[in-house]
A and B are shown apart, each in its own frame.
Chain A
Amino acid sequence: MSFLTIDNATKSYGSVEVLHRVDIDVQEGEFLVLVGPSGCGKSTLLNMIAGLEDITSGTISIKGKSMNGVHPSNRDIAMVFQSYALYPNMSVAKNITFGLEMHKVPKAERETALRDVAKLLQIEPLLDRKPGQLSGGQRQRVAMGRALVRNPDVFLFDEPLSNLDAKLRVDMRTEIKKLHQKLGTTIVYVTHDQIEAMTLSTRIAVMNGGYIQQLGTPKEIYDTPANLFVATFMGSPSMNLIPVKILEENGGLVAETTNGLGETIKLPFATPPAGLKDYVGRTITLGLRAEALTDPDGADSKAVNLVTVKSRVIVMEPAGSDTFVMTEFGGQDCNARMRADVQVAPGEDVDFTINMDKVVAFDPETEDRIV
């Protein structure tokens, strides 16, 4: 029995179904991130877990108890909102203890809980201030304090970092991760930022159009995306997609395409997915992460099946830690992640090494990964 079970949950507004038969099991202590573009239904799902939106059909249960129709305050959950939603007329201390007061916790206990949380989040000097007098990062902490003080079964985060500036966002991300490691609480976290999803989660649910596209660990999502949507949505830069023709040669499968010079190149598969045999003679979409396309010296030394091909450099973007080189395969722009000090110039023809261990193949019609 899992800790938080979402079983066949559906949400409709009138005749429009916005969330279709969602099934997710969350174990105790897990950090589940719901990620997807805006309008994919991730916030709706979170609000359904919180009880702020009704469930049209299906059930959501916490600790084996069905939560359908249970008021938000009786679900033993706490939520951190995107806008923080701090009560503007109350002091920080009142903001944090308001929930305890509503649940009729005695005053002495409230004071102790407040002190503990304030210490944990290092907001002790702020307790008498009003939310209007706090900076963005401080408000964020207070919002988390308000959730933590309740010591709930499940924490819900609704894009909590999207109102912070870039640097603070990275700091707070680490802070949330630390907090999770320290407290071991169960967290459901909504974001549209795939980096947040990758770094924070123990599992990710990628959503689009009201469907769960893929549910898995960050590594599974990144290395073996279930379909083209997941492949392009997750990862930055997004996965290179090259149209290739599958041929059978010497008993093995090869992918035939063109390089940036217009020459035909052949990329042999070492361990092709079983289903790929059915695509011989047809064109498929080959997915290639930027770090699986690099300069020969920068290639993964543990990789078994490296193929080096020539192509033309279109654009070069030094990013400090890496240099991104854009070239062309099969008529598509492709990003290669090369070493920082690589010596290439636009217009030059250089060697690119492709790590064929890491390629994934997609059916261009169904857009699903070929397994």
Chain B
Amino acid sequence: MATPTMDKLAALEADNGSHLITVTFRIRRFNPEISEEATWEDFQLEIDPKERVLDGLHKIKWEMDGSLTFRRSCAHGICGSDAMRINGKNRLACKTLIKDINPSKPITIEAIKGLTVQKDLVVDMEPFFQAYRDVMPFLITKGNEPTRERLQSPEDRERFDDTTKCILCAACTSSCPVFWNDGQYFGPAAIVNAHRFIFDSRDEAGEQRLEILNDKDGVWRCRTTFNCTDACPRGIEVTKAIQEVKRALITRRF
């Protein structure tokens, strides 16, 4: 059954007698019912390095400390619930393998930044969704509804394909230094979702959305630090999308 790599791994396991390794999870805990201070807490666990950070968190919650609080739904990188700051980088806990993040050192896990921490790794996502709603992320058309579906050529679909992949996990927005400082900035996620409709040939409210993003807290606040592109677990070219919106605004004016 096995590939050479797997044979090697199997041999290694036979040597050690076990494939488990000991990992330290250093988690930033906050519980407003106990203290106003957030503190780091270490957990040591035996885990298969091919497992994910989320599996480690489950192990802690189910077997060691049930008070550990975090969000997750699908656990397979689709729902976008478990974005967190792992070793200082925003990632999805369910898409990060232990072996990929240097398990010989303690793995630090914090809540994403720039949003109110409610408990442990759970933040208030409302400001994030507020910005998302502000860009009107739904199809807007004029005139009568057609009797058939709205047709679109593959090229027209390709134009905004990248930005349809967003799962609203907030990894990009909460990695943006401008969002940390000036919370009125729409943030990369909202702009990505505006981009998805601005460049959709079937949509007719692109002008309105551009007008919203032309505001002083819109796309012009972007400093192109590329934190968002690095953070996106779906590999969306976020900064490129923001720049495309800027270009659309400029070419519209001149």
Chain A bound to chain B = no
B residues in contact (CB < 8 Å) with A: none
